[in-house]
């Protein structure tokens, strides 16, 4: 008897958490990855993790959502090999400089040495654009807009963190070619809109798009725009980025066509890379609470869990039957539903599904059976205010309503938190002070051209603050302000933040 109790307490502890996300973010994140069984860091290749079913299912749903959005916007799927010959990398010189330190190389197969060194793709420009050069012959072949859902490998030397940064990660890369620069610029804007539609409207992750400074561009790009969000420890996390490549790659890879006058024209290109596994990590951290993870309703592997409350011996069969019929009704609505008939206690089950973020729990005991109702509990509400008694015939409408409300609350909390972590500073002293409590801080700054790098380096070395760039939308320009570092004329308001 005693042994059994100890066992129950131990397994209970195994699934119960109560950690303040803001105060102990690292502990919170590691615990949640473990208790909700999202990932396993014990895989024996450094910097690589295993993504377990609960996370893999959501990531799959996120991919579907993003792919739909890309296809709606005229992108078509392709599948390119993961192996890229070294010679392809050597073609665009900025690109090779940027990526060489991060590339995994394949030089042997079986017992043979390969004729040529092959890279595991860190990104696919150099694989794709040689093919673009074959596919694009005339203006009729433009625009070309393709995407692929795949993994990439980068030999990170920074500390890895599950979903945030690992040596193999899962993304979508979309690549385009246009006849004119104007269309390429329009594509960059469309990429930002897609990010808004999916990352904010669907995944409920707030962000700001920044134009990155000259020294922080994608290797080979003319301009880089990236969405930044904030984590509970106030550090920024980069989400999708889109790059105006101009004609850098098209000239290097000879991607062009003959215009009506028979003259060769090079195409204008862009690329866009939402890292789905990282966005998943952001979603976990932004929406979770002290009891575990939360996810927007549509992206939870299970929408609704039904838990029978079997108190009186006599009514057990009745309750079980009722649970099965409710399960059938709800499943037929199209919701991913689980009826948890395991031998664990209701309390254990509550915690088990709460830590995993199932948005709606249905409790059914003898009272519910007798009244033809169910008790509905919402994942994000506190114990006392979370329960609602709902008649079975009202369930369809009520679940739809509550799912929608749940998502709205998720979104509102995320926006409030994100905005609450933004501020501005007009002197180094103010910046130093505010950096303790805020995430993204707006400052007057000399320039995001190459000549601003010295000031950026100063902020990085002294305060660990990175210059994230200027806001892409609603960018204010400083009027008669000085750069808070060099005191020269401030051409821009930039945002600074700590990053991983």
Binding region for its own copies (CB under 8 A): 40, 42-45, 48-53, 56-57, 59-60, 67, 76-85, 88, 100-112, 118, 120, 127, 130-131, 134-135, 146, 148, 151, 153, 155, 167-168, 170
Classify 60 as helix, strand or coil. helix
Comparison of 46 and 477: residue with beta carbon closer to its own copies: 46
CB 322 within 8 A of CB 315: no
Comparison of 165 and 442: residue with beta carbon closer to its own copies: 165
CA angle 68-73-74, nearest 5°?
100
User: At its nearest, how many Å lie between its own copies and the CB of residue 106?
Assistant: 5
User: At its nearest, how many Å lie between its own copies and the CB of residue 81?
Assistant: 4
User: At its nearest, how many Å lie between its own copies and the CB of residue 413?
Assistant: 29
Half-sphere exposure for 324 (CA within 13 Å, toward CB) = 6
Torsion sign (Cα): 292, 295, 297, 299: negative
Comparison of 333 and 401: residue with beta carbon closer to its own copies: 333
Comparison of 52 and 434: residue with beta carbon closer to its own copies: 52
User: At its nearest, how many Å lie between its own copies and the CB of residue 258?
Assistant: 14
Comparison of 173 and 411: residue with beta carbon closer to its own copies: 173
User: At its nearest, how many Å lie between its own copies and the CB of residue 352?
Assistant: 13
What DSSP letter does each residue of 444-476 carry, written as one string?
A: EES-SSGGGHHHHHHHHHHH--EEEEEESSS--
Classify 408 as helix, strand or coil. helix
User: At its nearest, how many Å lie between its own copies and the CB of residue 148?
Assistant: 8
User: At its nearest, how many Å lie between its own copies and the CB of residue 76?
Assistant: 4
CA distances from 56 to 23, 45, 59, 300 (A): 28, 19, 5, 11
Comparison of 277 and 407: residue with beta carbon closer to its own copies: 277
Comparison of 9 and 389: residue with beta carbon closer to its own copies: 9
| Location of structure tokens 């399960």 | 327
Q: Which of 11, 61, 24, 55 is nearest to 352 (CA)?
A: 11
Cα–Cα distance, 163 to 370 (Å, whole number): 46
Q: Which of 112, 49, 295, 75 is nearest to 191 (CA)?
A: 75
CB 257 within 8 A of CB 136: yes
User: At its nearest, how many Å lie between its own copies and the CB of residue 40?
Assistant: 6
Comparison of 151 and 417: residue with beta carbon closer to its own copies: 151
Comparison of 129 and 266: residue with beta carbon closer to its own copies: 129
CB 274 within 8 A of CB 59: no
Comparison of 134 and 473: residue with beta carbon closer to its own copies: 134
User: Which tokens hold the place of 112?
Assistant: 């043979």
Backbone angles phi, psi at 111, to 5 degrees: -105, 0
CA angle 199-202-206, nearest 5°?
45
Comparison of 146 and 410: residue with beta carbon closer to its own copies: 146
Classify 49 as helix, strand or coil. coil
User: At its nearest, how many Å lie between its own copies and the CB of residue 114?
Assistant: 8
User: At its nearest, how many Å lie between its own copies and the CB of residue 479?
Assistant: 46
User: At its nearest, how many Å lie between its own copies and the CB of residue 371?
Assistant: 34
What DSSP letter does each residue of 414-442 carry, written as one string?
A: HHHHHHHTEEE-SSHHHHHHHTTT-SEEE
User: At its nearest, how many Å lie between its own copies and the CB of residue 111?
Assistant: 7
User: Which tokens hold the place of 330?
Assistant: 């709800």
Comparison of 14 and 367: residue with beta carbon closer to its own copies: 14
Q: Which of 131, 10, 118 is nearest to 78 (CA)?
A: 131
Classify 338 as helix, strand or coil. strand
Q: Which of 385, 197, 171, 381 is nearest to 279 (CA)?
A: 171
């Amino acid at each position: 008897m005693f042994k059994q109790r100890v066992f129950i307490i131990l397994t209970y502890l195994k699934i119960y958490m109560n950690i303040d996300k803001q105060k102990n973010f690292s502990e919170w994140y590691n615990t949640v990855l473990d208790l909700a069984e999202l990932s396993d860091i014990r895989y024996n290749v450094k910097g690589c993790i295993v993504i377990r079913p609960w996370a893999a299912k959501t990531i799959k749903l996120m991919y579907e959502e993003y792919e739909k959005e890309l296809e709606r916007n005229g992108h078509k799927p392709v599948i390119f090999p993961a192996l890229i010959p070294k010679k392809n990398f050597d073609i665009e010189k900025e690109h090779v400089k940027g990526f060489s330190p991060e590339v995994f190389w394949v030089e042997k197969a079986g017992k043979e040495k390969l004729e040529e060194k092959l890279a595991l793709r860190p990104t696919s420009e150099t694989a794709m654009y040689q093919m673009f050069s074959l596919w694009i012959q005339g203006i009729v072949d433009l625009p070309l807009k393709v995407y692929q859902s795949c993994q990439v490998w980068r030999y990170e030397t920074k500390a890895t963190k599950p979903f945030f940064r690992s040596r193999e990660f899962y993304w979508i890369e979309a690549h385009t070619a246009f006849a004119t620069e104007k269309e390429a610029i329009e594509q960059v804007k469309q990429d930002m809109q897609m990010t808004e539609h999916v990352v904010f409207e669907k995944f409920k992750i707030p962000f700001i798009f920044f134009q990155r400074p000259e020294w922080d561009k994608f290797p080979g790009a003319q301009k880089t725009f990236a969405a930044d969000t904030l984590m509970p420890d106030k550090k920024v996390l980069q989400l999708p980025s889109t790059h105006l490549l101009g004609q850098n790659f098209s000239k290097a890879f000879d991607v062009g066509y003959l215009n009506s006058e028979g003259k060769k024209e090079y195409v204008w290109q862009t690329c866009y890379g939402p890292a789905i596994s990282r966005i998943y990590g952001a979603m976990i951290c932004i929406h979770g609470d002290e009891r575990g993870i939360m996810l927007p309703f549509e992206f939870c592997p299970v929408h609704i869990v039904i838990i029978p409350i079997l108190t009186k011996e006599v009514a057990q069969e009745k309750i079980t039957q009722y649970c099965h019929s409710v399960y059938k009704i709800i499943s037929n609505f199209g919701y991913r539903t689980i009826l948890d008939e395991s031998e664990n206690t209701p309390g254990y089950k509550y915690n088990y599904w709460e830590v995993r973020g199932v948005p709606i729990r249905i409790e059914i005991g003898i009272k519910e059976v007798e009244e033809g109702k169910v008790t509905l509990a919402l994942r994000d509400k506190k114990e006392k205010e979370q329960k609602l008694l709902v008649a079975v015939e009202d369930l369809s409408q009520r679940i739809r309503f509550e799912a929608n409300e749940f998502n709205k609350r998720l979104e509102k909390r995320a926006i409030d938190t994100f905005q609450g972590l933004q501020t501005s500073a007009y002197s180094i002293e103010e910046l130093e002070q505010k950096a303790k409590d805020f995430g993204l801080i707006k400052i007057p700054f000399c320039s995001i051209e190459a000549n601003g790098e010295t000031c950026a380096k100063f902020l990085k070395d002294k305060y660990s603050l990175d210059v994230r760039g200027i806001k892409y939308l609603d960018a204010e320009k400083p009027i008669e302000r000085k750069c808070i570092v060099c005191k020269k004329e401030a051409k821009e308001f930039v945002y600074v933040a700590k990053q991983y």
